[in-house]
Structures are given as C-alpha cells and as structure tokens.
Amino acid sequence: MATGTLVIGKREFVWGARTYLMAIINMTPDSFSGDGLDLDLDAAVEQALRFEAEGADILDIGGESTRPGGAETTADEEIRRVLPVIERLAARTGTPVSIDTSKAAVAKAALAAGAHLVNDVWGLRHDAAMASVVAHSGAPAVIMHNQRGRAFHDVIGDVRAGLEESIALAEAAGVERDRLIVDPGFGFGWTVEQNLEMLRRLSELTTMGLPLLVGTSRKSTIGAVLDVPVEERLPGTAATVALAIAGGADIVRVHDVAAMRQVCRMADAVVRGPAAG
C-alpha cells in the first residue's frame, strides 16, 4: 500500500491518511456522462468552485472525450477548450488543477497555464513526447493502464504489466517513481465482468507501492449491472467507490463531489479508522 507524501501544487497529499477526491470537469460537447460543458467558461469555473466547496482535492480538466468510439480531438482544439479554464482557476483557487490529456502539447500548455498534475489515460504510451514533458515540468502524473487494443490474459496481470510499462517509460525520461500515481483503467477496454473482477481484486495492485486512483463514476458497467441510464447511476457509483476504498484506492475520480465526499468519509471511517473519516 502507498505510503509517504506527494506535493501537488501547493498541497501535500498524505497517502493512507484518507481518500482524496478528484472532481471531473469536462470541457467537451460529447461526454458519455452528459456533463460536457463545451466552451462555457463561466459554467466551468462555477462548477469547479462549487466542487472545491464540496470537498474536491483536485480539479481535473479535460478537453477530449475518452468514451468508447469517441472521435479524437486535435491538440489545438483541446488546448482551446481547457486553457481558459485552467488560467481562470489558477488565479482563483488554491486547489490543485489536473489536465486530463494524452497529448504532450496539451499537457505542456496546460502546465504552463497553471495546471499542477498530468492525468494520462494512455499511461504515457499515446504520445512519445509525453514522458519528457512530465519529466521537465517537475509535475506528478497519473498513469492509467488502457486495455483498448491489447490482448487479454488476466485482469490484474494485464493491468500490472501495462502499468509497469508506463512506469518504465516515465523513469527512462527522468520522472521519479514517487511522482507517479497509478490508475488500473476501469472501463477502458474491459467487459462488464472484467471491470467487476478488477474492482474485486483491486487490493492486489497495492503491492506496487504507488498511490492508486480509481475512476468508476457513472460508467457503463454500473448501467449494465443495474439497468439504469447515466443520470441514475449515483447509487451504483457510491457502491463502487466504497468498494474501491476498501480495496486500497487513495484517490477516487468522480462527477458527484458532495455525495461522494460522504461516501469517502464513511468508507474511510471503516477502512482507515474514525479519525480518517
């Protein structure tokens, strides 16, 4: 299980003390969850500040939908969507801002604009320059295992192998291991049954010794199990978040901050002790 600390922006994250909340802010017109804000800067800033007030520890800004079958966005368009939000938030909040991108050019521009963390759903493997951008910035990074297009052998074995590849890329570029956060990639190239197995076996990944981020919020596996549309997936999300915390998650990435803050507090009180909750 992860121990130690990591400074993101001006805040220190103490692994094991409690579960941290990463809030999702989608600057896209086609988010799977129906919360895409497109280019509405005022709405995005208002949402981010509300999330901060509700207990978000990181504000994750994304300019490209990662839903299955989604069209790839150009780097220029992605930058046009996210930079104004990052610049505005950097001036108005002390909460760390994350850039959700797999493109080195976007990450570089976002970090220069005030972002503090890179969240790459392709684990530095989509853009050969990404590891170098992270290394030279000094910022930490979330590296996710993405199963799309990869042969399946075993859920946890495949996740671990993919994450080790990404860690190797990061370290070869000069990114220290203790600047990395790992994400097993719930919903990225897995069947419903495989996603459930991932969550069931999540604790097996804690032996990697790195902080673990899990993002299950509103995803299609919840819809498939409960037979509900995306707008009715809050209870299912709550269940998966609580189980992720029990399995060792250090950060959960969510759409519904206020509700999930309560879930985290209750789960932490059970898993880590009342002081953490």
- Exposed, middle or buried: residue 257 (CB in 10 Å: 0-12, 13-18, 19+)? buried
Options 81, 218, 219, 233, the catalytic residue: 219
Residue from 18, 125, 218, 253 carrying the catalytic annotation: 253
Indicate if 253 belongs to the active site.
Answer: yes
Measured CA to CA in angstroms, residue 104 lies from 50, 69, 74 at distances of 29, 22, 12
Give the residue from 244, 251, 242 showing the smallest Cα distance to 14. Answer: 251
HSE on the CB side for 36, CA within 13 Å? 15
Our answer to whether residue 10 is catalytic in this structure is no
C-alpha 196/C-alpha 16 separation (Å) is 24
Query: Residue 242, CB half-sphere, CA atoms under 13 Å: how many?
Result: 14
Give the number of other Cβ atoms within 10 Å of residue 193's Cβ: 11
Long-range contacts of 36-42 (CB under 8 A, 24+ apart): 36/65, 38/81, 39/80, 39/81, 41/84, 41/85, 41/88
> 23 φ, ψ to 5°?
-95, 135
Give strand pairing partners of 143: 120, 182
Is residue 227 within 8 A of residue 220, CB to CB? The reply is no
Catalytic residues, which ones?
219, 253
